[in-house]
Amino acid sequence: MLSREEVRKCLTNLDPVDVVRETLADHDRGISLLPAEAYLRWENSRGAYTRSIGMPGAVRSAYGMKIINASVSNPAIGLERAGGIGLCFDAETARITTIMEAGLLSAVRTAAVSAVGVDALGYGGAVSLAVVGCGAQGRMHAALLAERLPSLRKVTLYDRSPDAAQALAATLPGISAQVCSSAREAVSAAEIAVFTTTMDTGYVEPDWASSGALLINVSLGDLTDAAFRDAAAVYVDDVDLVADNPRRPLGRLMAEGLFGRPDSTGPARPLDGTLGGILTGRHRADGVASPYVVLNPFGMGVLDVALYAAVSAQARAESLGTALHLG
Ligand SMILES: NC(=O)c1ccc[n+]([C@@H]2O[C@H](COP(=O)([O-])OP(=O)(O)OC[C@H]3O[C@@H](n4cnc5c(N)ncnc54)[C@H](O)[C@@H]3O)[C@@H](O)[C@H]2O)c1
């Protein structure tokens, strides 16, 4: 069993962006398994949206599952919004071999997908970044993109809680970090804008983006229908996950027939591709394009499972963790 601190130690000796990039390509090659998620939602006694998601997956010799639970009222009682466990399974016996804290890796995986997307979609030379929503995901995105984008000089930040944006600004030495008074001000100043809020009603309109920007819709609910419709290109991580979830805006637009699968013919506008498809050469990325490009990463459990396997192997090599005997 690995605590968050032990997971963090393991991460110092492996590159999560490499693991995510290889797994996205493996997924496109059809050598992974990614069943539909199990999704359970309820309202807690405070009336807050509360949910549990079970995400199994397999790639190469890695088998496992992510269980990630969240309640939007958690921050008010001093808890992170989301938390859970990652499980590794033995490929022969299916027995659970490792249990690890999953919140840290969830943020690392999600930010790593965005880092791969920035590169694959031709935005690796960006000088400016906006982060809207400065919680766990926003912080990890800012840290990872600051580390991976050598030309990054300026970060504009917005959070409905100004303290969260100020706290994030203080963690970015060597980069000009500006706390903005609106999401629009932050977004319009940046070549790459990452949305990591908890909004479920779209508010980002097409004229917010700077010309040729990349909008990374991590929290999935921030873009209006018009912002999807007017994009020069719309990329996803996995088409099935997006299409199977009409409760999210892009899935709903697919169900309504506005967007279709990549390479589909017919009246629906085809999605422009998947990150894995771009990495394997099956889909094409046209690079920076006006008015702006959208990446809508739904979140693939198989990427977490690949990271769990890498972390578990590293923990064994370093003799980290606590042995549990279940009897
Ligand atoms: N697509 C994926 O793969 C993926 C993976 C993990 C999490 N997520 C999503 O990312 C989002 C952020 O997760 P988190 O763990 O960082 O949550 P969090 O609660 O730690 O942080 C959310 C932050 O957004 C701010 N915020 C909320 N609404 C806002 C608004 N309208 N404008 C500005 N700021 C606002 C909050 O004040 C908070 O600081 C969630 O919606 C989560 O579901 C997506």
User: Which domains, ranges and CATH numbers included, belong to the chain?
Assistant: 4-105+302-317 (3.30.1780.10), 122-299 (3.40.50.720)
Average pLDDT over residues 312-321: 98
d(C-alpha 31, C-alpha 14), whole Å: 22
Cβ density class 219-253: b for 16+ within 10 Å, e for less: bbbbbbeebbeebebbbbbbbebbbebeebbbbeb
| Cβ atoms of 100 and 11 closer than 8 Å | no
Q: Is 195 in the pocket of ligand 1 (CB under 6 A)?
A: no
CA-81 nearest atom, ligand 1: 19
pLDDT of residue 173: 83
Average pLDDT over residues 232-250: 96
110 pLDDT band, cuts 50/70/90, is: very high
326 pLDDT band, cuts 50/70/90, is: confident
Average pLDDT over residues 298-317: 98
State the residue for tokens 């031709």: 122
The residue whose CB lies within 8 Å of the most ligand 1 atoms, and thus the one to mutate among 50, 180, 196, 215, is 196
Nearest to 250 by CA among 267, 232, 227: 227
Q: Is 299 in the pocket of ligand 1 (CB under 6 A)?
A: yes
Share of the chain above pLDDT 90, in %: 96
The residue whose CB lies within 8 Å of the most ligand 1 atoms, and thus the one to mutate among 71, 114, 197, is 197
Nearest CA, atom 15, ligand 1: 136
CA-298 nearest atom, ligand 1: 1
| Average pLDDT value for the chain | 97
Average pLDDT over residues 315-327: 94
Q: Is 117 in the pocket of ligand 1 (CB under 6 A)?
A: no
327 pLDDT band, cuts 50/70/90, is: confident
- Residue 226 alpha carbon to ligand 1 centre in Å: 22
CA-217 nearest atom, ligand 1: 1
pLDDT of residue 64: 98
**Would the pLDDT of 144 be above 90?**
yes
287 pLDDT band, cuts 50/70/90, is: very high
Q: Is 312 in the pocket of ligand 1 (CB under 6 A)?
A: no
pLDDT of residue 165: 98
Token pair, residue 310, equals 């890498």
Strands 213-216 and 192-195: parallel
- Residue 94 alpha carbon to ligand 1 centre in Å: 34
| Cβ atoms of 40 and 21 closer than 8 Å | no
- Identify the residue with better confidence: 186 or 286: 186
> Considering Cα of 190, then 191, then 196, then 197, what sign does the dihedral take?
positive
Q: Is 11 in the pocket of ligand 1 (CB under 6 A)?
A: no
CA-75 nearest atom, ligand 1: 19
65 pLDDT band, cuts 50/70/90, is: very high
d(C-alpha 200, C-alpha 219), whole Å: 8
d(C-alpha 237, C-alpha 140), whole Å: 19
Nearest to 28 by CA among 303, 220, 311: 303
- Residue 248 alpha carbon to ligand 1 centre in Å: 15
- Residue 196 alpha carbon to ligand 1 centre in Å: 4
Residues whose CB falls within 8 Å of the CB of residue 7, separated by 6 or more in sequence, listed in order: 100, 101, 104, 105, 311
**Would the pLDDT of 42 be above 90?**
yes
State the residue for tokens 């130690």: 9
| Cβ atoms of 241 and 37 closer than 8 Å | yes
Average pLDDT over residues 4-24: 98
Cis peptide before 16 (omega within 30 of 0): no
Q: Which of 151-155, 233-237, 243-247 has the lowest mean pLDDT?
A: 243-247
**Would the pLDDT of 53 be above 90?**
yes
**Would the pLDDT of 305 be above 90?**
yes
pLDDT of residue 135: 95
Average pLDDT over residues 1-20: 98
pLDDT in tens, 176-214: 999 999 999 999 999 999 999 999 899 999 999 999 999
pLDDT of residue 21: 98
Q: Is 198 in the pocket of ligand 1 (CB under 6 A)?
A: yes
**One-letter amino acid identity for 3?**
S
Average pLDDT over residues 16-31: 98
Average pLDDT over residues 235-243: 97
pLDDT in tens, 157-167: 999 999 999 99
Residues whose CB falls within 8 Å of the CB of residue 277, separated by 6 or more in sequence, listed in order: 28, 262, 283
> Considering Cα of 92, then 69, then 228, then 139, what sign does the dihedral take?
negative
pLDDT in tens, 219-231: 999 999 999 999 9
Nearest CA, atom 3, ligand 1: 299
Nearest to 132 by CA among 189, 70, 73, 71: 189
Q: Is 138 in the pocket of ligand 1 (CB under 6 A)?
A: yes
